A = this chain, B = another copy of it.
Amino acid sequence: MKKLINDPSNMLADSLVGVAAAHPELNVDHVNRIIYRGEKTKAGKVALISGGGSGHEPLHGGFVGLGMLDAACAGEVFTSPTPDQMQEATKVVDSGAGVLHIVKNYTGDVMNFEMAAELAEAESGIKVESVVTNDDVAVEDSTWTAGRRGVGVTVLLEKIVGAAAEEGRDLASIADLARRVNAAGRSMGMALTSCTVPAAGKPTFDLPEDMMEMGVGIHGEPGRHRVPLAGAASIAQQLVEPILADLDFTGGATIVMLNGMGGSPLIELYLMYGEVKKILDKARVTVARNLVGNYITSLDMAGCSVTLLKADEEFLKLWDAPVNTAGLRWGV
Which residues of A approach B to under 8 Å, CB–CB? 2-7, 11, 14-22, 54-55, 57-58, 62, 192-193, 209, 212, 229, 231-233, 235, 258, 262-275, 277, 287, 290, 292, 294, 297, 299-300, 302-304, 329-332
Contacts and interface: CB of A to CB of B under 8 A. Distances in A.
A231 B275 CA distance: 39
Contacts of A231: 5-7
A2 B193 contact: yes
A229 B6 CA distance: 11
Nearest to A299: B265
Tallying the copies of this chain within the complex gives 2
A270 B57 contact: yes
A47 to B, nearest CB: 24
B266 A58 contact: yes
A11 B233 contact: no
Chain A interface, DSSP helix/strand/loop, else mixed:
mixed
A269 B302 contact: no
A145 to B, nearest CB: 23
A2 B300 contact: no
Given A262-B265, A265-B300, A292-B22, A15 B330 contact: no
A212 B15 CA distance: 21
Nearest to A209: B2
A270 B19 contact: yes
Contacts of A15: 267-268, 270-271, 274
Contact of A5 (B54, B57, B266, B268): B268
Contacts of A329: 329-330
Nearest to A271: B15
A18 B263 contact: no
A292 to B, nearest CB: 5
Contacts of A19: 270, 274
B297 A265 contact: yes
A152 B151 CA distance: 33
Contacts of A303: 4
Contacts of A266: 57-58, 62, 262, 294, 297
Given A4-B235, A15-B274, 20 more contacts: A2-B209, A3-B268, A4-B304, A5-B232, A6-B231, A6-B271, A11-B267, A15-B270, A21-B273, A21-B277, A21-B287, A21-B290, A22-B270, A55-B267, A57-B267, A263-B265, A263-B302, A265-B294, A267-B299, A268-B300
B192 A273 contact: no
A258 to B, nearest CB: 8
